[in-house]
Amino acid sequence: MSDTDGEIVISVRGLRNAFGEQVIHDELDLDVHRGEILGVVGGSGTGKSVLMRSIIGLQHPVAGEVHVFGESMIGRDDTEATNVRKRWGVLFQGGALFSTLTVAENVEVPLREYYPELHQQLLDEIASYKIMMSGLPAEAAPKFPSELSGGMKKRAGLARSLALDPELLFLDEPTAGLDPIGAAAFDELTKNLKETLGLTVFLITHDLDTLHAICDRVAVLADRKVIAVGTIPELLALDHPWIQEYFNGPRGRAALGAKR
């Protein structure tokens, strides 16, 4: 478990995101502490992925402040943000692999972008190591995404997210579409990587089993902001209707029972 009173790795203050007349976030605040796995949940349309994209610079908010590792991420050009971006890895929904590249070549993409001077032999060695870390067999390296199962694509995307030895990992619905056994295995892998590498993990999920199994705290998005952050027992003590329906509904009770 993390020390939730420790260093703040991600700080979001007063975030506002809107698409035309549709306001997604308004005065959203959130802190993520070093060494924790923070689960981010919310109903459809609450902007979980938009929040992640705002933090990593793919979405430009209307207002607010975002700091990662103490550095402001708002209004900085790509060159200024490069040193911070080297310190994180991102697993997008579905893996977001380049279809014309092999698994190994996909893993090498961020290495080529940030370290163009690296020789091919070293690139191949690093890619092989990251593929192994993600739980894929070595023979997956020369395969193309179309030759992989859904679970293997997720792991290949994870391997790419680990390419730069990040301190911070963003995972967007990593277990979506996986069968229960595959999802549980991915959860265990995430937890082991966090503990082994000392990662901080920002994890978007709707999977109650994942929340119970590996998340230190959970942030709940509703009403255009983060309405609560805490452990699951702390959230269950709140009387917000969405929180109660989500965690105390049939699936929530089943996930809690499975944990016990």
Q: pLDDT value at position 257?
A: 52
Residue 129 has pLDDT above 60, yes or no: yes
Mean pLDDT of the chain: 91
Q: pLDDT value at position 1?
A: 41
Q: What is the mean pLDDT of residues 201-214?
A: 95
CA gap 132, 34 in Å, rounded: 25
Q: Token digits for 61?
A: 């908010």
Q: pLDDT value at position 82?
A: 83
Q: pLDDT value at position 250?
A: 62
Q: What is the mean pLDDT of residues 146-161?
A: 94
Q: pLDDT value at position 74?
A: 86
6 or 41: which leads in pLDDT: 41
Q: Tokens 């295995």 appear where?
A: 185
Q: Tokens 């995101």 appear where?
A: 17
DSSP string, the chain: ---TTS-EEEEEEEEEEEETTEEEEEEEEEEEETT-EEEEEE-TTS-HHHHHHHHHTSS--SEEEEEETTEE-TT--HHHHHHHHTTEEEE-TT----TTS-HHHHHHHHHHHH-TT--HHHHHHHHHHHHHHTT--GGGTT--GGGS-HHHHHHHHHHHHTTT--SEEEEESTTTT--HHHHHHHHHHHHHHHHHHT-EEEEE---HHHHHHH-SEEEEEETTEEEEEE-HHHHHTS--HHHHHHHHSHHHHHHHHHH-
CA gap 151, 187 in Å, rounded: 12
* Banded model confidence at residue 24, pLDDT cuts 50, 70, 90: very high
Give the model confidence (pLDDT) of 75-124 as tens digits.
777 677 788 999 999 999 877 899 999 999 999 999 999 999 999 999 99
Give the model confidence (pLDDT) of 50-63 as tens digits.
999 999 998 899 99
Cα→Cα distances 30→9, 15, 47, 165, 253, Å? 11, 9, 14, 25, 27
Residue 260 has pLDDT above 60, yes or no: no
Give the model confidence (pLDDT) of 179-205 as tens digits.
999 999 999 999 999 999 999 999 999
Q: pLDDT value at position 256?
A: 54
The rounded percent of the chain whose pLDDT value lies above 90 is 79
CA gap 48, 64 in Å, rounded: 16
Q: pLDDT value at position 16?
A: 96
Task: Give CATH 3.40.50.300 domain extents, the chain.
Answer: 1-86+167-174+184-260
Q: Considering only 26-35, 79-88, 147-156, which range has the smallest mean pLDDT?
A: 79-88
Q: pLDDT value at position 93?
A: 85
Whole-structure pTM value: 0.91
Q: Could you name the CATH architecture of 1-86+167-174+184-260?
A: 3-Layer(aba) Sandwich (3.40)
162 or 73: which leads in pLDDT: 162
